[in-house]
Amino acid sequence: MNKMPPVPAPESRWMPYVLPWDDAPIDISFLFRNEQPAGKHGFLTVRGDRFAFEDGSEARFWGTCLNSAANFPSHAQAESLARRLARFGVNMVRTHQLDAEWSTPNLFQFTRGESKPDTLRFDPESMDRLDYLIHCLKREGIYVYLDLLTYRRFKSGDGVEAADQLGNAAKPYANYDPRLVALQKQFNRELWTHVNPYTGLAFKEDPAVALTAITNENDTLATSLPITVEPYRSQLEQRYRAWALDKGVAVQSGKVDFAQRGEPLVRFLHDLQLAYYAEMTRDLREIGVRIPIAGGNWNTGLPGLSSYQERDFCDVHVYWDMWSDTAGNNKVMMAQEYGWAQSCAKYRLLDRPFFVSEWDQVWPNEWRGESPLMIAATGAFQGWSGMLVHTYRYRSGGPVRGMGGVVMGGTGYRVNFETFNDPAIFGLFYHAALLFRRGHVAPARESAGVQLKDDDIFRHKVTDFPALFHAAERHKAGMILPGHPARADHLYSAQEAAPGAKEAHRLSDTGELCRDPAKRICRIDTPSTKAAYGFLGEAASIELQGLTLSVKTPFAVIAISSLTDEPISRSDNLLLTAIGRADNSEARYNEDHTQRLEIGHEPTLIEVIEAEVRLAIETPGLRLLSIDPEGLITGEVPVSREKDALRFEIGKTFPSMYYLIQR
């Protein structure tokens, strides 16, 4: 099941397909016009395990992160960016890394040259650009997830001890040091009370600013963040000893080693995180912030999950194949025993909204085209509240030399994260937005959960719940904390055997989603979107209700969605997307594609997907139009009518990635 996919055949056909950086080949924003401007339904609220606006309408968010300098575009760039995102079906942007020192601009400094002694004031030019961006996004119906502490580098001028030894966001000391906490509160007050001159509203008064989180990937429970810098280490030891004395817990004499995470220490750090999130949330509420607030977003085990218990929603990050600058594993996710459905189930609390503020199957994994539809369909089925790909861009300028971002913050791996011009990721956003935002995939009929006990949290790992892991693709799945009511159709305990674990197919209880790990094929079969992705060329044919695919290309993603309120069978406007592998021209790898030798350059190339298609549809007079990256019709692909079905071939006459089926 974990075998490597075959090395691509040398005779594969490739063609240039360069997505425009400031426009979109297809525009589906007309389907969401009634959602403009963002905020028209009032402030976002929490209703049980879902988000809803003040007028009662349910809120679902599909979108992306803007990283560092991408949050500060020129006014003209902001207008084109907002239009482009709306045309792809995006309705939320996370303003990530606003405070990153290595970014130019950032919140504190718009240009380089002057050496700023502190991080106590916002740069007026940076704020003007952020303000105008939010104004443009709002106009297009796109909401904002406003980040707070992410990558800020505190300086000695901030009144911070040992500033030169603190890394980004002063992790993990910012979770408890009084001065660092006070600086965060000051930052938050100035940001949320700042009045945007283009909307006329302070950020706290603008319902288009819909979500926020206290900190990013910053948690004392994370063993990857050592606690060694003085005086912060000693300060924490004093607090630990006071906590232990109050709880009647014995602490050995001598210096406490925070790398040794026994149960008493983990319980203390858990309580510390609870207190930090509570203090910061109280301060935000006093400022006047009304929207849902998350604590953090890091997967630090069950203690970390429990530390979110009093926050409004759970936020996590999930990735597949985190390439370094040059190397990765290049594995297919759909062929594994567990994937994103299981990863998210173990960090989801069933009694509140669940949000994925970062996901990605990182380029240049050549099978990453499996991920956009997979996570969108999973999120719709699970009843998640939103998903944002990490990331869109690190800069806001014009076209680039091809796929691949920039070396920033001393890390080369960031070259792998930009998706704005990746046909295999962003190119599938149309269908993903329809699956999730328009509910083309139905929610699960039943739920499955683990009723956690106190001992489970501090003595078990998240991998100790095989029954829940198996249920995650069949039912809505998540965790239930101690003291919270058990509301699930199927309840499991730690290490309970997974029912039906040997089943060959992973089938949702709605029957709309199916994964075959052995064949490495997934299906999405709904009235308004039908899709198959994986190694379709290794099967004789792929059968969905009303759709038959005979695919010649080994790896492919083929999706058909109705662009009307009618199902596919009666629609007169449909989008067909066919994409598989995509890469830069002259990119070079080792034999099994696990090491990048040359990053390549523009133009971006896509593998031509060849397939015979039979689509059951009643609508007469339909044409199949090939669409190029600029949205131009390059030709009409021949179709034949067979009673109530169309037959055609893609990939031969006027090959493309996008095809419109229209009357």
In this predicted model, what pLDDT tens digit does every residue of 227-242 receive, in sequence order? 999 999 999 999 999 9
pTM of the model as a whole:
0.96
409 pLDDT band, cuts 50/70/90, is low
- Look at residue 171 and tell me whether its pLDDT is greater than 90: yes
Closest of 227, 225, 261, 267 to residue 246, by C-alpha: 267
410 pLDDT band, cuts 50/70/90, is low
CA triple 122-175-408, angle to 5 deg:
55
**DSSP code of 327?**
B
What's the rounded mean pLDDT across residues 287-315? 95
Domain chopping of the chain, boundaries: 447-492, 506-662
- Look at residue 284 and tell me whether its pLDDT is greater than 80: yes
What's the rounded mean pLDDT across residues 627-647? 96
- Look at residue 337 and tell me whether its pLDDT is greater than 90: no
Pairing outcome for strands 209-215 and 293-294 = parallel
- Look at residue 8 and tell me whether its pLDDT is greater than 60: no
CB of 306 closer than 8 Å to CB of 266: no
Give the tokens for residue 289.
Answer: 């912030």
CB of 88 closer than 8 Å to CB of 21: no
- Would you call 643 exposed, middle or buried from its count of C-beta atoms within 10 A (0-12, 13-18, 19+)? exposed
526 pLDDT band, cuts 50/70/90, is very high
CB of 661 closer than 8 Å to CB of 623: yes
How far is residue 312's CA from residue 48's CA, in Å, rounded to a whole number? 10
Handedness of CA 411, 412, 416, 419 (dihedral sign): positive
In this predicted model, what pLDDT tens digit does every residue of 459-505 receive, in sequence order? 877 778 888 888 999 999 999 999 888 789 999 987 777 666 567 78
- Look at residue 131 and tell me whether its pLDDT is greater than 80: yes
Average pLDDT, the chain: 94
Name the E strands within 289-385.
293-294, 314-320, 354-361
| 637: CB partners within 8 A, 6+ apart | 624, 625, 626, 648, 649, 650, 653, 654, 659
SS3 content of the chain, % helix, strand, coil (to 5): 25, 25, 50
pLDDT of residue 469: 85
Q: Which residue did the predictor score with more confidence, 301 or 611?
A: 611
pLDDT of residue 1: 34
How far is residue 476's CA from residue 380's CA, in Å, rounded to a whole number? 10
pLDDT of residue 465: 84
pLDDT of residue 6: 39
- Look at residue 68 and tell me whether its pLDDT is greater than 60: yes
- Look at residue 407 and tell me whether its pLDDT is greater than 80: no
How far is residue 151's CA from residue 217's CA, in Å, rounded to a whole number? 10
What's the rounded mean pLDDT across residues 293-310? 93
For tokens 């991920």, what's the residue?
371
In this predicted model, what pLDDT tens digit does every residue of 340-397 receive, in sequence order? 999 999 999 999 999 999 999 999 999 999 999 999 999 999 999 999 999 999 998 8
What's the rounded mean pLDDT across residues 128-146? 98
How far is residue 609's CA from residue 582's CA, in Å, rounded to a whole number? 11
5 pLDDT band, cuts 50/70/90, is very low
pLDDT of residue 408: 65
pLDDT of residue 493: 83
How far is residue 211's CA from residue 92's CA, in Å, rounded to a whole number? 10
2 pLDDT band, cuts 50/70/90, is very low
In this predicted model, what pLDDT tens digit does every residue of 415-429 receive, in sequence order? 899 999 999 999 999
CA triple 463-221-417, angle to 5 deg:
75
CA triple 9-10-14, angle to 5 deg:
100
Q: Which residue did the predictor score with more confidence, 455 or 82?
A: 82
**What element of type H or E holds 214?**
strand 209-215
What's the rounded mean pLDDT across residues 393-405? 85
pLDDT of residue 562: 98
How far is residue 118's CA from residue 259's CA, in Å, rounded to a whole number? 31
How far is residue 110's CA from residue 510's CA, in Å, rounded to a whole number? 51
Q: Which residue did the predictor score with more confidence, 381 or 400?
A: 381
What's the rounded mean pLDDT across residues 591-610? 95
**pLDDT above 90: percentage of residues in the chain:** 86
In this predicted model, what pLDDT tens digit does every residue of 265-278 receive, in sequence order? 999 999 999 999 99
